[in-house]
Amino acid sequence: MKNLPKVKPGTLLFGLLSLLLLLTLPISAVSAAQDIRVNIDGLELKTDVAPLILNSRTMLPFRAIAEALNLEVDWEAEQQIVCVKGDNLLIEMQVGNRQAQVNAQPKNLDSPPVIISGRTMAPVRFVSETFGCTVQWDPISREVSIKTPPAKMEITAFYALGDQKTSSWTNLFGRPYPERATGNTGLVDTLALGWYTLDEEGNLLSNSSSAWQRPPGWEKVLEAADEYGLQTEMIIHMTDSNARIRNLIRSDQARQKAIAQIATEAVQYNGVNLDLEGLGWNDSPEQLLQVRRDFTDFVKALADELKKSGLALTLCLHPSNSAYPGYDYQALGKIADRIIIMAYDYGSSPEPVPMVYEAVESAAAQVAPEKLLLGISVPNENPESIRSKIGIAKRFALKGIALWRLGLISEEMWQEVGNCIAH
C-alpha cells in the first residue's frame, strides 16, 4: 500500500497546468537545457529527453537516472506515482506533488515531478543524494556530476616481476621485500600471481623467456597473502605466437599433459587464472569456429579437473571489440568461475571510455555480471580515468575489477580505488 494520497482532480489539474506553464514561465523559472550534461562516476548519461531546469532544480528523466544507479523503478500510471527501490530505501513521488515519501517518511521537494514528452522528470539532486550519492553543479560548464557511494566489489591485483622501483611486493605490503605490513592489502581480495607459462607440448613452466617467471622466495608471497587473508591464483600466461596455443589445444596428448600438471601445481593456491592470449587473429569464419571450440573444450576439461580439488578457474579474455575474437564468451561464462575482461590496449591513454563500455556491455549480455571483472591497465590510466573505468563496472553491476599490475599503482590511484569500492 502506498503512503502517497490518491490523485485528486485538483492534483491532475495541477499536473496539466505544470506542463502548460513550462511553455510560458520566464527563463528564471524554467531553462530548456539541451546543453546541460550529466555524468555519473565520470560517465556521460544520455537521455531521450533533455534535462531541464525547473525552479532552479535540474530535472532528469527518472527512469534513466534510476537505472544508471542500478535502482529498481516502478510506475503506477493510474495515480502517476513513480517508485524507486535500492539499498533498503524506497522513494515514492507523485507527478505534481511537492511531498515525496522516503521509507514512508514525508520529504518536501522544491520541484515536484512533471511529465515531459511522455517521460517523468524528477529532481536529480533529491534522488541521487537520498541514495548516498554526492552531486555537484558547475554553472559555467552546465554540468551535473554525480558520484555514487562506494560499491561492494572484488579487487584482483596482478602480482608480477618488477624492479626495485616497481616492486609488486612493496606496492602491496608497503615494505621492501621481505618485510611486510598491512600496506594496501585491505583493498585487495585476490592476488593473481604471474609465475607460469606452457609450451605447446603441454609442459608447465615456471621459468621462461616470456618474463612470466616464478621468483626466488615465492613461498613468502603465499605466506604473506595467507597472513592478510588474500586469495591466490596461479596465472598461466601464453600467447599464440607461431600458433603455440592452437597446437596445444588441438593435441589430445598435449592438452591432457597440461591439465594434469596444472592441477598438480594448483593445490598450493586457491585457484587457476588462465591467460591464453591472441586467439582469432585474422582467422577465416571456419578457423574462428574451430579455435573457439578447441579453447572451450580445453577450458571445460581443465575446470572439471580443478573442481575435484575444490579449486576455482578464472579466465583472462580479450574483449569482443578487440582484434582477437577467438573466445566464445557465452560458452565460457557457463564454465568459468570468473572472467576478467581485458578491455585495454585500444591504442590511446587513458583507454577510451566508449570502447571499454562497449566491451563490458557485450560481455554482460553473454555472461552473468556477477562472474565478470573489468581489467584495468594501470600504465594507461590516471586516478580520474580509473574512476570512470570503475564507474563502468558499477554501471553493469560487475563482480569487480582487476588491476594490472602491482608495482605500478600510485598512492593517488589506490586512494581513488578506495573511494569507489567498499571493503
Query: Would you state the pLDDT for residue 180?
Result: 96
Q: Are 364 and 396 in contact (CB under 8 A)?
A: yes
Q: Are residues 142 and 155 in the same domain?
A: no
- Please report which residue ranges of 58-214 form alpha helices under DSSP H: 62-68, 124-130, 168-173
Domain assignment of residue 2, yes or no: no
Domain assignment of residue 318, yes or no: yes
pTM of the model: 0.90
Each residue's pLDDT tens digit, 82-136: 999 998 999 999 999 999 999 999 999 989 999 998 899 999 999 999 999 999 9
SS3 content of the chain, % helix, strand, coil (to 5): 35, 30, 40
In the predicted structure, residue 212 carries a pLDDT above the cut 90: no
If one counts the domains in the chain, the total is: 2
Q: Are residues 74 and 204 in the same domain?
A: no
In the predicted structure, residue 18 carries a pLDDT above the cut 90: no
Q: How far is CA 346 from the centre of its chain?
A: 17
CATH number at residue 142: 3.30.457.10
Mean pLDDT of 156-164: 91
Q: Are 111 and 62 in contact (CB under 8 A)?
A: no
Order of strands, edge to edge, in the sheet holding 114-116?
A: 30-32, 52-54, 57-61, 119-123, 114-116
Query: Would you state the pLDDT for residue 35?
Result: 82
Q: Are residues 160 and 287 in the same domain?
A: yes
The pLDDT-based confidence of 56 (bands split at 50, 70, 90) is: confident
Mean pLDDT of 341-365: 97
Query: Would you state the pLDDT for residue 16?
Result: 41
Domain assignment of residue 175, yes or no: yes
Higher-confidence residue: 367 or 88? 367
Query: Would you state the pLDDT for residue 376?
Result: 98
The pLDDT-based confidence of 213 (bands split at 50, 70, 90) is: confident
Domain assignment of residue 347, yes or no: yes
In the predicted structure, residue 349 carries a pLDDT above the cut 60: yes
Domain assignment of residue 4, yes or no: no
The pLDDT-based confidence of 54 (bands split at 50, 70, 90) is: confident
DSSP category for residue 369? G
> What is the extent of the structural domain holding 93?
9-147
Q: Are residues 234 and 359 in the same domain?
A: yes
Average pLDDT, the chain: 91
Q: Are residues 119 and 159 in the same domain?
A: no
Domain assignment of residue 346, yes or no: yes
Q: Are residues 143 and 166 in the same domain?
A: no
Q: Are residues 112 and 164 in the same domain?
A: no
Q: Are residues 237 and 369 in the same domain?
A: yes
**What phi-psi label fits residue 401: left (phi over 0), alpha (psi between -120 and 50 degrees) or beta?**
beta
Q: Are 326 and 291 in contact (CB under 8 A)?
A: yes
Query: Would you state the pLDDT for residue 131?
Result: 95
In the predicted structure, residue 420 carries a pLDDT above the cut 80: yes
Q: How far is CA 412 from the centre of its chain?
A: 20
In the predicted structure, residue 209 carries a pLDDT above the cut 80: no
Q: Which of 23-37, 184-198, 204-218 has the lowest mean pLDDT?
A: 23-37
Q: Which residue is it, cell 564468451?
A: 329
Domain assignment of residue 367, yes or no: yes
DSSP category for residue 320? T
Q: How far is CA 173 from CA 19, 187, 224, 367, in A?
A: 60, 11, 9, 34
Q: What percent of the chain has pLDDT over 90?
A: 82
Rounded distance, CA 377 to CA 273, Å?
Answer: 17
Domain assignment of residue 1, yes or no: no
Mean pLDDT of 59-63: 90
The pLDDT-based confidence of 210 (bands split at 50, 70, 90) is: low
Among candidate residues 96, 126, 147, the one where a domain is terminated: 147
The pLDDT-based confidence of 211 (bands split at 50, 70, 90) is: low
In the predicted structure, residue 67 carries a pLDDT above the cut 80: yes
Each residue's pLDDT tens digit, 272-286: 999 999 999 999 999
